């Protein structure tokens, strides 16, 4: 079987459109889904032919609910389950419904808009778009909070090792677990913190992205809790987004992983704390408004689904 992954381990691009769609109740979706899978393959092929320079691509993720509704391959991927909220003493990693997720990216925003338009035209008769977030590259890959995002990302061959399913689930080798959250930041509260205090929240220097030593890094800093070890990594492709006038700025957290359990461990450390109650301090400034788990089949599986 062809185990060619979708473009899940590409490095972040300049522009992104994230979309989450939910199917209507009591509608026939099989035919539309078949055409959708063919469209995703077509859009990726067309982007490569039109220009390699823009690095345009779209990645399709399918939730547990949608997998069942569409009657796709059984047994399904081992760790594709309905995401359950993770409830800490103060903060909650909420769970929100989503049948399909699209991660559209390109150096040129026009490609993102064109691809999103084609997907929306096909899905609109049978589904509602619950989230549409337009992300952008901020300076040298920083979040809107001003710190470099994704420093712990695996590099080189490690990206495939940590981001793509291997022999542990042979039927879905080449696929990837996709977890997303839309965070809204309290920018007024964040900006009121002196830089030195912001650095303690993150666990790194703001200007140069240098990690604090263990003797000075707070145990509730983001880097202390979100990093679950060199043997357990994920591929992040986070992007900032927002509206300046309304001060609704945020980060779209997106993780590709060979196992969802790695993401789940990270979330538990952040929201419940390690030890319990010692939660990630960044959550005092960033609130998760969504949380959904999907699986990204291989290119070959998408072609099979297309019929």
- The pair phi, psi for residue 171, each rounded to 5°, is -65, -20
In this structure, is the dihedral angle defined by the CA atoms of residues 184, 85, 149 and 160, taken in order, positive or negative?
Answer: negative
pLDDT in tens, the chain (307 residues): 578 999 999 988 899 999 999 999 988 899 999 999 999 999 999 887 776 667 899 999 999 999 999 999 999 999 999 999 999 999 999 999 999 999 999 999 999 999 999 999 999 999 999 999 999 999 999 999 999 999 999 999 999 999 999 998 989 999 999 999 999 999 999 999 999 999 999 999 999 999 999 899 999 999 999 999 889 999 999 999 999 999 899 999 999 999 999 999 999 999 999 999 999 999 999 999 999 999 999 999 999 999 9
Which of 149, 186, 215, 231 does the annotation list as catalytic?
149
C-alpha 83/C-alpha 200 separation (Å) is: 30
CB 107 within 8 A of CB 98: no
Spell out the domain ranges in the chain: 15-306
Phi, psi of 11 (to 5 degrees): -75, 155
Q: Based on the residue annotation, tell me whether 169 is a catalytic residue of this protein.
A: no
With a CB cutoff of 8 Å and minimum separation 6, the contacts of 245 are none
Cα–Cα nearest to 22, from 95, 148, 128: 128
């Amino acid at each position: 079987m062809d185990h060619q992954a979708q473009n899940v381990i590409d490095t972040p691009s300049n522009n992104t459109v994230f979309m989450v769609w939910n199917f209507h109740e009591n509608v026939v979706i099989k035919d539309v889904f078949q055409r959708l899978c063919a469209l995703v393959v077509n859009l990726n092929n067309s982007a490569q032919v039109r220009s390699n320079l823009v690095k345009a691509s779209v990645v399709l993720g399918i939730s547990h609910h949608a997998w069942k509704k569409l009657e796709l391959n059984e047994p399904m991927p081992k760790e594709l389950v309905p995401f359950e909220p993770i409830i800490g003493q103060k903060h909650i990693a909420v769970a929100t419904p989503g049948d399909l997720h699209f991660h559209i990216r390109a150096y040129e925003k026009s490609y993102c808009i064109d691809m999103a338009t084609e997907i929306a035209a096909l899905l609109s008769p049978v589904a509602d778009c619950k989230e549409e977030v337009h992300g952008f590259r901020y300076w040298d890959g920083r979040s809107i909070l001003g710190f470099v995002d994704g420093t712990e990302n695996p590099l080189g061959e490690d990206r495939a090792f940590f981001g793509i399913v291997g022999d542990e689930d042979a039927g879905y080798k080449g696929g990837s677990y996709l977890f997303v959250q839309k965070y809204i930041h309290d920018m007024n509260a964040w900006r009121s913190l002196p830089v030195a205090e912001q650095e303690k929240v993150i666990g790194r220097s703001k200007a140069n992205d240098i990690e604090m030593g263990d003797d000075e890094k707070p145990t509730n800093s983001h880097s202390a809790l979100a990093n679950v070890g060199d043997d357990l990594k994920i591929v992040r492709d986070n992007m900032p987004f927002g509206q300046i006038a309304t001060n609704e700025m945020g980060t779209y957290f997106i993780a590709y992983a060979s196992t969802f359990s790695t993401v789940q461990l990270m979330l538990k450390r952040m929201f419940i704390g390690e030890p319990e109650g010692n939660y990630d301090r960044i959550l005092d400034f960033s609130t998760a408004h969504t949380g959904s788990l999907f699986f990204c089949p291989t290119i070959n599986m998408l072609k099979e689904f297309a019929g």
